[in-house]
Amino acid sequence: MTMADETKLKIVIFGAFGAGKTTLIKTLDPESKHVEANCAGGTTTVALDFGRIQSYACRIHIYGTPGQERFEFAREIITKGMDGAILLVDVTSPLDGFTRHLSNTLQDAKVPFVVFLNKCEIDGANPDAFTGQFGLSEVRKVSAKDKEQCMGALLQFAGTLAPRPNGRNHT
Ligand SMILES: Nc1nc2c(ncn2[C@@H]2O[C@H](COP(=O)(O)OP(=O)(O)OP(=O)(O)O)[C@@H](O)[C@H]2O)c(=O)[nH]1
Ligand SMILES: [Mg+2]
């Protein structure tokens, strides 16, 4: 196998404000980069997150989007050329309209996507209340702080995406 045989994937993470997108990318790639601003005692993504994962002959570039609705322009740019998407949902709050909108948009665009139900390790979280809410999409229960679990779920999803030796042209 040569470098040219490597599969390259661009995966983009969507989800509402505070769903855990940045946390997930930091967990998957501790050297990932993040453009954030201080916000209500924490941080919020104002541009993007970027991480890299190498697994055998698969190189994944993973992008996080801002969850605040006013950053739609940033989501549009980051979305270009994606091979697949992850919709991250915080199960400690009720399903919101923006998350539904993201789910519908991905479905309409026929982008392969998987739903990660996040923060499942928190006491009282009830992920089962969310499982039927996303049509035929696959749903995984995770904690964005659990590396082994998130890496397993990511690589399982990546394996369902059509292999593209030499990568897709991200146009
Ligand atoms: N307990 C727990 N907390 C989490 C988990 N994932 C994220 N958080 C917390 O949730 C808060 C928001 O996480 P972020 O990763 O910044 O969320 P985000 O989706 O990137 O938010 P925006 O960029 O503002 O849209 C932080 O305080 C995280 O520590 C999780 O799986 N479990
Ligand atoms: Mg973020």
pLDDT tens, residue by residue, 40-79: 999 999 999 999 999 988 999 999 999 999 999 999 999 9
Q: What number is the average pLDDT over the span 31-42?
A: 96
pLDDT in tens, 95-152: 999 999 999 999 999 999 999 999 999 999 999 999 999 988 999 999 999 999 999 9
User: Is 170's pLDDT higher than 50?
Assistant: no
Q: What number is the average pLDDT over the span 1-24?
A: 90
Query: What is residue 5's predicted lDDT score, i.e. its pLDDT?
Result: 73
- 63 in a structural domain: yes
- 147 in a structural domain: yes
At 63, which CATH number? 3.40.50.300
Kindly give, in sequence order, each residue whose CB lies less than 8 Å from that of residue 119, ignoring residues fewer than 6 positions away. 20, 90, 91, 92, 125, 143, 144
Query: What is residue 3's predicted lDDT score, i.e. its pLDDT?
Result: 61
Cα angle: 143, vertex 85, 106; to 5 degrees: 120
pLDDT band for 6, please (50, 70, 90 cuts): confident
Please tell me the number of the ligand nearest to residue 39's CA: 1
Q: How many domains does the chain have?
A: 1
- 165 in a structural domain: no
Q: Which range of residues forms the domain containing residue 100?
A: 3-159
How far apart are the two ends of the chain, measured CA to CA in Å? Answer: 26
List the beta bridge partners of residue 88.
15, 116
Please tell me the number of the ligand nearest to residue 26's CA: 1
- 167 in a structural domain: no
- 33 in a structural domain: yes
Round the average pLDDT of the chain to a whole number and report it. Answer: 93
Q: Which atom of ligand 1 is nearest to the CA of 23?
A: 15
Name the residue of 23, 75, 149 whose CB sits within 8 Å of the most ligand 1 atoms, as the mutation to test its pocket.
Answer: 23
22 ligand 1 Cβ < 6 A: yes
Q: Whose CA is nearest to atom 24 of ligand 1?
A: 44
Q: Whose CA is nearest to atom 29 of ligand 1?
A: 23
pLDDT in tens, 151-160: 999 999 999 9
Q: Whose CA is nearest to atom 14 of ligand 1?
A: 20
Please tell me the number of the ligand nearest to residue 18's CA: 1
**Considering the entire predicted model, what is its pTM?**
0.94
pLDDT band for 165, please (50, 70, 90 cuts): low
- 28 in a structural domain: yes
Task: Report the C-alpha gap between 135 and 99 in whole angstroms.
Answer: 13
- 128 in a structural domain: yes
Query: What is residue 2's predicted lDDT score, i.e. its pLDDT?
Result: 64
Cα angle: 88, vertex 92, 93; to 5 degrees: 85
pLDDT in tens, 73-111: 999 999 999 999 999 999 999 999 999 999 999 999 999
- 171 in a structural domain: no
Q: Token pair for residue 85?
A: 């998407």
